[in-house]
Structures are given as C-alpha cells and as structure tokens.
Amino acid sequence: MQSSGGHAIGSDMLVIRPDIEAGPAPARYRYSKDRFRRNLLIAAGLTALVCSMVWLLLGIAGSPRMNLYTSITGLVFFAFISARTVTQYLRGEVVLAATPSGFLDIRIRPETIPWDEIKELVVRRRENEILLDVVLWPRSGSAEEAGPRHAIGLNELDAPAKRIVDAVGRYKQIRYET
C-alpha cells in the first residue's frame, strides 16, 4: 500500500522528514544498531548501579519504603538517560543530516539549522570518540562572541565518522583540532 507521498506504509515504516528527505540525496544518518545496543546495556548498568546505591542508603537510613523509592529512582534515571534515544532508534529517525539547505542533528534541535547560522564546525578526538563541534552564531550577532557550542558524538551513528565529516564538509568548511 502507498501513501500519498509515495512512501510504503507498513510496520517497519521510517519517519519521513520532507526537509531532509527531498532533493538531491542528502547525507542522512541514523543510530547504529550495534552501538545502540551497547549504549542501552551501559545505560541499564548505570541504572542498576544508581538503584543499588539508593537501596543501600535507604536501607541504612531504615526507610520502610526503600523498594518503592528505589524503583522510582531507577525508572526516572533510566528514562532521563535513554528514553529519547530509544524512541528515536525504534522509529528509525534520521539523527544527523547534511543537506544543501542546512545541517540537522535532532540532538541539538528538531529542525534543520541553515548553514549561515553555523559559525564554525570543528572535528576533534576525545579518547576513542570523534566529536563534531557545531558552533552557532550568538543571538546578539556579535562576530567576536562565541555562540552556543554543541559537541556531537559521531561514533554512535550508522556510518564511519570520516564519511559523516566528508558529507558535512561538502557544505561548510571544517576545522580539524588535534
């Protein structure tokens, strides 16, 4: 079955974003399945660690509802570190895209950022991770001021970091920091 936009409708349908799906083959990246599973295991492990500490402290304090409070802490902690990522992964949403009209990273903002709003792009390495720093122009418009700086991890996406950097570099110059 086809929708009016020409995309197949089914249980495995990906979320279609007209601002990044239209036009000449933009570079689109989603979360990597293997890295997502690893990150989810890490989040579960951190949640278990936090819950153990809460349970231990409440037990020492003699709280009669320590199991309830520990469960609530675990749910809230896990939700804060992974709920948004899980929903984006399950929907198959595009996480990062480089298009002629701008740059999209839904971890920064849900809409495409026009290239002229980006002051600078910097690629740097932190231990085993490649980061792309996106520096936006400040709201005041001053060229000397630094605007908001967003560090984007490229390792958790479904393509090698070099391919992502090359795709972004087609539209905006990138500075490499060592």
23-45 confidence digits (pLDDT tens): 456 789 988 888 888 888 888 89
In a domain, 141, yes or no: yes
Instruction: Specify whether 71 is located in the same domain as 109.
Output: no
In a domain, 14, yes or no: no
Is the pLDDT confidence value at 18 over 80?
no
Which residue range(s) make up the domain with 48? 33-91
* Kind and range of the H or E run holding 41: helix 33-61
Instruction: Specify whether 116 is located in the same domain as 171.
Output: yes
Instruction: Specify whether 156 is located in the same domain as 115.
Output: yes
Contacts of 95 (CB under 8 A, 6+ apart): 29, 30, 31, 88, 105, 106, 107, 157
In a domain, 18, yes or no: no
What is the Cα–Cα distance from 153 to 145, expressed in whole angstroms? 24
Instruction: Specify whether 111 is located in the same domain as 159.
Output: yes
In a domain, 171, yes or no: yes
In a domain, 55, yes or no: yes
Give residue-wise pLDDT tens across range 85-113.
777 778 878 889 999 999 999 888 989 99
In a domain, 134, yes or no: yes
In a domain, 26, yes or no: no
Give residue-wise pLDDT tens across range 70-84.
999 998 988 887 777
Count of structural domains within the chain: 2
3-state SS assignment for residue 98: strand
Give the phi and the psi of residue 32 in degrees, each rounded to 5. Answer: -75, 135
